[in-house]
């Protein structure tokens, strides 16, 4: 019998040790990967990581409060937002706001905007290419054009402007959603190949002018990549995290059942 993400969320919501132990084993590697990617200078900051785990354990945390039809990818997308929200902000040498990005990149197609936005998420053209299912050369060409478009809209510019403003831009885009924005299931349908040509065309008409949805789509693309996860934590790595969250040691019979899959 395999213990699922759905059951984990249910058990964490009920503050059951089995759910929290499974969360630590399966998703701490993803959390560490996100911190190392977005804020490498804090990758070894144990206090930041421990405070993040403790905040997720609090009853008021929204991470375990609901489920979508595709629970694991939905869950990791929500977890990603919690991790990034906990990262300390820094003021870039040159600040860039979302309105300027939206104005500058308006001529681009949806795919081109995604390629540019993934640069703000600190993915290189080589890393972004398989995520978008295009060539690295295509991503590089798009980003060169995007850079020139942004350069024409700002007083000061450098080639790393998008990446250095990425956290702030992502937070602004995430907060900019409206009533017409697409649900996570719409993006998952596209990624899974379940969307019809007409459905994709309708989606693109909205997304092309909505940076909230551009960001949301890129986050879901990123989640698919994150779920090509590293190995779960070893038992020796789990023990200090269980102590941090005041979890009892699991009973071996139940533990074997949960991780049978």
Do 134 and 38 fall within a single domain? Answer: no
**203 within a domain of the structure (yes/no):** yes
Amino acid 3: pLDDT? 86
Q: Say if residue 130 is in the same domain as residue 212.
A: yes
**Residue 78 predicted with pLDDT over 60:** yes
| 163 found inside a domain | yes
The burial of 260, by beta-carbon neighbours within 10 Å (0-12 exposed, 13-18 middle, 19 or more buried), is given as exposed
DSSP letters, 75-141, are HHHHHHHHHHHHSPP---SS---HHHHHHHTTTS-HHHHHHHHHHHTT--HHHHHHHHTS-HHHHHH
The H or E element that residue 152 is part of is none
Q: What is the pTM of this model?
A: 0.88
The count of domains in the chain is 2
Statement: residue 8 has pLDDT above 50: yes
Residue 129 counted as domain residue: yes
SS3 222: helix
High-pLDDT (> 90) share of the chain, %:
64
Residues 28, 82: one domain?
A: yes
Ordered alpha helix ranges (H), the chain: 5-13, 17-38, 46-57, 71-86, 98-104, 110-120, 125-132, 136-151, 161-164, 166-174, 184-191, 197-207, 211-226, 235-244, 252-258
Q: Which residues are CB-contacts of 207 (< 8 A; sequence separation ≥ 6)?
A: 110, 182, 213, 214, 217
Instruction: Indicate if 62 and 110 belong to the same structural domain.
Output: no
Q: What is the pLDDT of residue 261?
A: 46
Please state, in angstroms and rounded to a whole number, the distance separating the CA atoms of residues 221 and 172: 19
Kindly state whether residues 78 and 195 are assigned to the same domain.
no
Whether residues 35 and 115 share a domain: the answer is no
Same domain, 73 and 110: no
Coil, helix or strand for 248?
coil
Q: What's the chain's length in residues?
A: 261
Range of the domain at 141: 98-226
pLDDT of residue 258: 54
Residue 58 DSSP label: S
133's torsion region: left (phi>0), alpha (psi -120 to 50) or beta?
left
Q: Are residues 102 and 209 in the same domain?
A: yes
Rounded CA-CA distance 151/84 in Å is 27
Residue 1 has pLDDT above 80, yes or no: no
Same domain, 107 and 217: yes
Tally Cβ neighbours within 10 Å of residue 77: 20
| Chain segment 85-124, per-residue pLDDT in tens | 999 877 889 999 999 999 999 999 999 999 999 999 999 9
Confidence category of residue 196, pLDDT binned at 50, 70, 90:
confident
At which residue do the structure tokens 């595709």 appear? 70
Q: Are residues 113 and 24 in the same domain?
A: no
Q: Does one domain contain both 103 and 222?
A: yes
Domain-located, residue 45: yes
Residue 104, pLDDT score = 97
93 found inside a domain: no
């Amino acid at each position: 019998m395999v213990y699922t993400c759905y059951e984990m969320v249910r058990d964490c919501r009920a503050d059951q040790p089995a759910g929290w132990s499974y969360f630590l084993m399966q998703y701490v590697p993803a959390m560490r990967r996100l911190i190392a990617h977005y804020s490498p200078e804090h990758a070894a900051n144990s206090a930041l990581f421990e405070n993040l785990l403790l905040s997720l354990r609090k009853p008021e945390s929204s991470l375990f409060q609901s489920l979508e039809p595709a629970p694991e990818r939905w869950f990791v997308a929500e977890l990603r937002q919690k991790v990034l929200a906990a990262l300390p902000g820094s003021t870039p040498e040159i600040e860039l706001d979302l309105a300027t990005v939206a104005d500058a990149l308006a001529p681009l197609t949806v795919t081109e905007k995604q390629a540019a936005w993934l640069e703000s998420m600190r993915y290189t053209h080589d890393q972004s290419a398989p995520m978008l299912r295009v060539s690295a050369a295509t991503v590089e060409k798009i980003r060169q054009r995007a850079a020139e478009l942004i350069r024409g809209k700002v007083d000061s510019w450098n080639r790393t402007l998008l990446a250095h403003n990425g956290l702030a831009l992502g937070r602004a885009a995430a907060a900019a959603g409206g009533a017409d924005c697409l649900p996570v299931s719409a993006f998952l349908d596209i990624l899974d190949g379940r969307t019809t040509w007409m459905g994709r065309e309708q989606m693109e008409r909205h997304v092309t002018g909505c940076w909230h949805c551009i960001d949301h789509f890129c986050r879901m693309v990123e989640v698919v990549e994150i779920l090509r996860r590293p190995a779960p934590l070893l038992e020796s790595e789990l023990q200090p995290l269980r102590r941090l969250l005041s979890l009892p040691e699991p009973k071996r019979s139940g533990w074997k059942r949960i991780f049978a899959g």
